[in-house]
Amino acid sequence: MNYSIGIDLGGTDIKAGLLCEDGSLSCRMVVSTQVDEGAKPIATRIAETARKIINTVESDSEKNKKIIGIGIGAPGLIIANSGIIHFSPNFPGWTDIPLLDYVSTELDDIDLPLYIDNDVNVMILGELHHGAGIGYENVIALTLGTGVGGGVVINRQVYHGSWNTAGELGHTIVQPNGRKCGCGNFGCLEAYAGAKGIIERTQQRIAEDMKTSLNPDSLTPKQIANAANDGDELAVQIYSETGRYIGIALTSIAHILNPQIAIIGGGIAAAGESLLFQHIRREFKQRTMDIPSNMEIVPAKLGNQAGLVGAAMLAY
Ligand SMILES: [Zn+2]
């Protein structure tokens, strides 16, 4: 059997695991990233973690295990083919860091190819091969978290664009002159369907005297979803609006790309069918032309494993 090593590099933790070609994960480990130490010590920790997994596989009595490569998923703008992190919001001060070179120097005694890509591209790759995207050719993905990430797959290949910035679906404009986005523009999907947008829209409505069980000073998207499930009218409205904004964004994307399926993941997507997905689909169907409206809209399947599975899939 073939195996590959997946590394999910985050601002807090480095997660690692061994992916079998059948999609099963084993040898999972987590070490602290320690961002403030800088890129080279982080590359050393990544290499040490990979080496531990390689040693575990080599000492395994079952000798037909073959590791074919190591893949790393990381947040930010990644120049995938040269292994460079151009910019990452999770790693302050990093500009054009040749992370793959650093890791490969640490592992120069081990003859395995190394790969890196953006965490959302990696998530979509995981879903494409072992999750909600199995059997589809043209796929888009959204991750609803602190920000709203996006990815595009065309003919089963992640599309990177001319300068590696394709797939920024979270910055689709859903409201001209709308809320300010972290990117500097106004009215992006992220400014409505990201955690900050959801919380601030709720606070604004509470300030307008809308009745609610929610405390405006300590809000999270999950609390708002819980309140909505308990029947809180404001919370229900906030999620149905969030769904509408996502449906509006998906309308533009479906008209441009005509994908077969949109996979939606991230913590906020856990609000589920009745709070979120039915509103996304209704808005999308109402606005989209006949043929592109065939696109299916489904939740991601791999949950928080998608980063590891997808990173390991870079090696295939
Ligand atoms: Zn934006």
| Whether residues 148 and 269 fall in one domain | yes
Give the model's pLDDT for residue 89. 81
- Do 292 and 194 lie in one domain? The reply is yes
Residues in the chain: 316
pLDDT at 247: 98
Kindly state whether residues 138 and 113 are assigned to the same domain: no
**DSSP code per residue over 181-203:** PTTS-BSBTHHHHSHHHHHHHHH
CA of 132 to the centre of ligand 1 (A): 26
Q: How many A from CA of 191 to the centre of ligand 1?
A: 7
- CA–centroid distance, 63 to ligand 1, in Å, is 50
Give the per-residue pLDDT at 8: 95
Distance in Å, CA 176 to ligand 1 centroid = 12
Q: Please check whether residues 295 and 242 belong to one and the same domain.
A: yes
What spacing in Å lies between the alpha carbon of 168 and ligand 1's midpoint? Answer: 9
Domain assignment present for 307: no
The alpha carbon of 182 and the centre of ligand 1 are apart by a number of angstroms equal to 6
For ligand 1, the distance from its centroid to the CA atom of residue 158, given in whole angstroms, is: 21
- pLDDT tier at 221, thresholds 50, 70, 90: very high
**Is residue 12 located within the same domain as residue 159?**
no
Question: Residue 198: which residues within 8 A CB-CB, separation 6 or more?
Answer: 192, 221, 224, 238, 242, 268
Residue ending a domain, among 98, 119, 140, is 119
- Residue 15 falls inside a structural domain: yes
How much is the pLDDT for 56?
92
Instruction: State the pLDDT at residue 30.
Output: 96
Q: Which residues contact 45 (CB under 8 A, 6 or more apart)?
A: 14, 31, 33, 34
| CB crowding 217-251: b at 16 or more within 10 Å, else e | eebebebbbebbeeebebbbbbbbbbbbbbbbbbb
CATH number for position 46: 3.30.420.40
Q: Whole-model pTM above 0.85? A: yes
Q: Which of 53, 84, 119 is the last residue of a domain?
A: 119
* pLDDT 10s digits, 183-209: 899 999 999 999 999 999 999 999 998
**Among candidate residues 108, 79, 86, the one with its CA nearest the CA of residue 39:** 86
Q: Are 289 and 255 in contact (CB under 8 A)?
A: yes
Specify whether 98 is located in the same domain as 154: no
Ligand 1 mean position, distance from CA 149 (Å): 10
Is position 200 within any domain? Answer: yes
Say what the pLDDT of residue 105 is.
Answer: 96
Q: Do 233 and 258 fall into the same domain?
A: yes
pLDDT exceeds cutoff 80 at 87: yes
Is the Cβ–Cβ distance between 126 and 309 less than 8 Å?
yes
Residue 235 in any domain: the answer is: yes
Q: Are 86 and 149 members of one domain?
A: no
Amino acid code (one letter) for 274: S
- Compute the distance between CA of residue 22 and CA of residue 65 in angstroms, rounded to an integer: 13
Domain annotation covers residue 314: no
Residue with tokens 């084993």: 26
Residues 223 and 93 in one domain: no
User: Could you say which of 96, 119, 142 is where a domain stops?
Assistant: 119
Q: Are residues 176 and 275 in the same domain?
A: yes
Partners of residue 157 on adjacent β-strands: 154
Does residue 127 belong to any structural domain of this protein?
no
Q: Ligand 1 center to residue 181 CA distance, Å? A: 5
| pLDDT for res 264 | 97
In a shared domain, residues 249 and 282: yes
How far away, in angstroms, is 66 Cα from ligand 1 center? Answer: 43
Tell me what the mean pLDDT of segment 279-292 comes to: 97
**Residue 14 confidence (pLDDT):** 96
Alpha helices in the chain (DSSP H): 39-59, 99-106, 119-130, 190-193, 195-207, 221-229, 233-257, 272, 278-287, 306-313
| pLDDT number for residue 92 | 86
Q: For residue 93, how far is the Cα from the chain centroid?
A: 22
Distance 50 CA to ligand 1 centre (A): 35
Alpha-carbon gap, residue 75 to 29, rounded angstroms? 19
Structural domain includes residue 126: no
pLDDT tens-digit map of 132-160: 999 999 999 999 998 999 999 999 999 99
Domain span at residue 45? 2-119
As a whole number, mean pLDDT of residues 8-12 equals 92
Centre of ligand 1 from the C-alpha of residue 252, in Å? 15
In a domain, 309, yes or no: no
The CA 26 to ligand 1 mean position distance, Å, reads: 37
Nearest to 264 by CA among 138, 124, 77: 124
Residue 63 reports pLDDT greater than 80: no
Work out how many domains the chain is built from and give that number. Answer: 2
pLDDT recorded at residue 169: 97
Distance, CA 2 to ligand 1 centroid (Å)?
40
Distance between Cα 167 and ligand 1 center (Å) = 12
Q: Say if residue 99's pLDDT is above 80.
A: yes
Q: Dihedral of the CA atoms 262, 268, 274, 278 (nearest 10)? A: -30
As a whole number of angstroms, the distance between CA 82 and CA 242 comes to 37
Rounded to the nearest angstrom, the gap between the alpha carbon of residue 91 and the centroid of all alpha carbons in its chain is: 17
Distance CA 98, CA 93 (A): 14
270 and 168, same structural domain? yes
